[in-house]
Structure 1
Amino acid sequence: MTSPAAGDSQFSASELANFNRDGYFIAKGLMPDSYLQRMRQITERDLNAHQGDIEYEAQLHYPGAPDSLDSEGGRTIRRLRQAVSRDPVFLQLVREPFLLQRLQQLLGPHVVMPLAHHNCIMTKQPRYSSDTGWHQDTRYWSFSDGHLINIWIALGTEDLHNGCLQVLPGTHTAQADKDRLDEALFLRTDLPQNQPLLQTAVPVPLQPGDVLFFHARCFHA
């Protein structure tokens, strides 16, 4: 596997400032082609074979998902879980200086990678992929310190036409009142007091090889 040059291993001062302001930053074309190609091979192999630990859309019952595993589209894959266990390339990748040093800039010198949840490959299928509501990823975790950073690597083109991620910039620094969330801790889109915040939504289109760093407290959908 090839890696970016040593000078490409850290955020610039302006990039750090943008992350701290918005709660996310896109490192355009950061992922080397050798890594990108291998991850795509593993993803396509396991998607086609329904191999390994899999989460199906029908299991979550989000809007747009099939009603059950036995209904039409019921075997639409939402995510391939336990990505690190699928091929050595994933563990090798997170040790690369071009990722690790950037994470150290955001988190400090001691970086830990939890494997319990967001160790996965997300997918968007043409017909039966669901809509995910506005949420913070801290809803999944019970760490005492909510200062957590996600790395999202685009394996293909992601845009508004195929369901790219959207974010509410700056929400990583705000405290969301519980009465503005539903029982599953999704931001309620029916409440008048949430409308000004929802109007700040920004799409995050990505090209293959782009790497999105975003704070776990930044609302996204």
Structure 2
Amino acid sequence: MSEQTSLKSKSDQVHELRQMGFVIVKGLVSEARCDALREVAQRQLAEAVAPVEYEADLKYPGAPESKHAPGGHTVRRLLDAHGRHPLFAEFATSPEVRGWMELYFGETPYLSRAHHNCVMTKHPAYGSLTGWHRDVRYWAFERDDLVSAWVALGDETVENGALWFVPRSHKLAFTSDRFDDAKFFRADLPENTPLIHTAVSPKLAKGDVVFFHCNTLHSAGKNLTDQVKFSLVYTYRGASNAALPGTRSASKPEVALV
């Protein structure tokens, strides 16, 4: 499926996203641009340029117990990508992204600076597992209709902790007991197991972009290689789908793609 996606029109790609909950667009970002973005990310990671989020802050499976434990200062996310370097901001509002989002939403798209808007790093030794979840679990908008763009700044495979998606899960309704207290989809429940077994993990090459719906169930494994994996992630909404006042979703000014 993913290899054929590069031959599809944007309309076909948007249709696939609506049907499957995610779509892979091959080679959307040039190799030169990926290299430049990755170089900035590597430098800022080495210097731990604020704001950052540490694995120890999240305490996901495999993360250090605290910042004082071995690996305690392993960075998980370089936060506020849009604000931390012009190259990140330029891509977030680039014509290729704007055109794709305009087609999906049918109106002016807005970049959320409160959600995602980061460089995701996954380290070999202390990079943690990410359980099954929907991104919208902590988001608050008038409608659950947002799209994230995940850019592979290098190859992404099961071996280095690539994403897994449950196809068509964005269309499913679940009762709250299917999730734990942290709103992760419970892999220990027999009624959840068959759905999880339908998950796929698309292999991404440098410059590939995955667009996925905020209700799509997804997860990510550990990095079993010896190299840090870098991914750039942004989230977008349509102009008519405003963040609810007083929530985290409304806590930072958004950026109109015009």
After TM superposition, the score normalised by the length of structure 1 is 0.92
Q: Secondary structure at the match of 2:15?
A: helix
Is the Cα contact below 8 Å between 1:78 and 1:123 reproduced in 2?
yes
Q: Secondary structure at the match of 1:150?
A: strand
Q: Secondary structure at the match of 1:153?
A: strand
Structure 2 match to 1:140: 138
Structure 1 match to 2:76: 78
Q: How many angstroms does 1:34 deviate by? A: 3.3
Q: Secondary structure at the match of 1:143?
A: coil
CA RMSD of aligned residues (A): 1.4
> How many pairs does the alignment contain?
213
- Runs of 4+ in structure 1 off by over 6 angstroms are none
Can you give the 5+ residue segments of structure 1 that lack an aligned partner in the other structure? 1-7
Is the Cα contact below 8 Å between 2:152 and 2:208 reproduced in 1?
yes
Q: Secondary structure at the match of 1:121?
A: strand
Q: Aligned ranges for residues 188-203 of structure 1 at < 5 Å?
A: 188-203=186-201
AA at the equivalent of 1:59: D
Structure 2 match to 1:181: 179
Can you give the 5+ residue segments of structure 2 that lack an aligned partner in the other structure? 1-5, 220-258
After TM superposition, the score normalised by the length of structure 2 is 0.79
Is the Cα contact below 8 Å between 1:57 and 1:74 reproduced in 2?
yes
CA deviations over 1:163-199 (Å, ceiling 9, x no partner)? 1000001011111211100011100011111111111
Moved more, 30-39 or 190-199: 30-39
Is the Cα contact below 8 Å between 1:28 and 1:210 reproduced in 2?
yes
Structure 2 CA distance, aligned partners of 1:207 and 1:103? 22
Structure 1 CA distance, aligned partners of 2:167 and 2:203? 15
AA at the equivalent of 1:202: V
Structure showing the higher strand proportion among its residues: 2
Structure 2 match to 1:93: 91
Moved more, 148-157 or 98-107: 98-107
Structure 1 CA distance, aligned partners of 2:149 and 2:200? 18
Q: Between the two proteins, what is the percent identity of the paired residues?
A: 40
Q: Secondary structure at the match of 1:78?
A: strand
